Amino acid sequence: MAQTHHFEASSLFNMQDRICLVTGGGTGIGLMASQALAANGAKVYITGRRIEALEQAAKTHSPSNQDTALSKGGRIIPIGPCDVTKKEDLQSLVKTLESLEPHLDLVVCAAGIPGPKASPESKDAAALKDELWNKESVEDWQNTFNTDVTSVYFSTVAFLPLLQKNLGSNGKRNHFGPNVITISSMSGLMRHAQAHFSYNAAKAATAHLTKLMSAEFQKAGVRVNSIAPGYFPSEMTAKSSDDRQKSDLPPEQVASKGHVPAMRGGTDEEMGMTVLFLARNDYVNGVVLNVDGGVLNVVGS
């Protein structure tokens, strides 16, 4: 039975000695996840297409590079580059990590793209067709699905053996159960197209894929859950990032949308809390957890 001191936050969310991989870890939600894990003691490998972004993120945000007594030994380590839409890149990354680590405890699939936008506002069918037909292409849709859905599947599958090695040769957990966190979106849970059909459809597929992988991979001892964020500061929402690989999303910009009860975007810390909860709670499996400031209470889902 748990004693009261077992409920201290430092115990509940302790990530010391955990080995993690975050795809898309150089910016946005991927970087928030990396910071939260590293701040609580994890060794976090971050990968993505832009090695300079990864190196800058690690240099700026790794606890080991900061003068703090609270780092608990956590580190953010750039590795790659890796294009998660390419099997050969993923396999190369697997081999590199196998040479560095005995196992993985956690994989966070945070790489993604927004896809094309086309507004379905017109009531005239001909004008509606013209808008959607001409501003979107089959190639755009395929690229969105390839990055936001297919790569999540193959990234997870690629690292299953390293995740299972967390269990040890006797099948018992070394620390806590190996797990995967995918990043879907509130956009995949709502009926409103938000002028980007391909992105919303892809994120809906990611959410369902998470449930499929959760059910099928539990036999291998691997949990899979998803975070469905609302508006958080990232290159996707803010269109840019600064020299610290961080983006700014002013509260008034979010409030002006008219469907966000919180009247602001989510904070880095709020995303970090969510990542730590799913990473540490071994009794949660197959969940799509929306963290959206109440948007899905207002927009049909």
In sequence order, what are the residues at sequence separation of 6 or more whose Cβ sits closer than 8 angstroms to the Cβ of residue 245? 26, 27, 31, 53, 56, 57, 60, 61
- The rounded distance, in Å, linking the Cα atoms of 233 and 213 is 28
Active site residues: 184, 199, 203
**Can you read off the two tokens belonging to residue 230?**
């609302």
In sequence order, what are the residues at sequence separation of 6 or more whose Cβ sits closer than 8 angstroms to the Cβ of residue 57? 25, 26, 27, 31, 34, 46, 76, 78, 245
Helix axes 28-39, 51-61, angle to 10 degrees: 40
Question: 249, 151, 231, 146: which is closest to 186 by C-alpha?
Answer: 231
Q: With contact defined as beta carbons under 8 Å apart, do 39 and 68 qualify?
A: no
In sequence order, what are the residues at sequence separation of 6 or more whose Cβ sits closer than 8 angstroms to the Cβ of residue 114? 144, 196, 199, 236
The number of C-alpha atoms within 13 Å of 31 and in the hemisphere containing its C-beta is 24
**Which residue blocks in the chain are alpha helix, DSSP H?**
9-12, 28-39, 51-61, 87-100, 125-135, 138-145, 151-158, 160-164, 197-217, 235-238, 251-255, 268-280
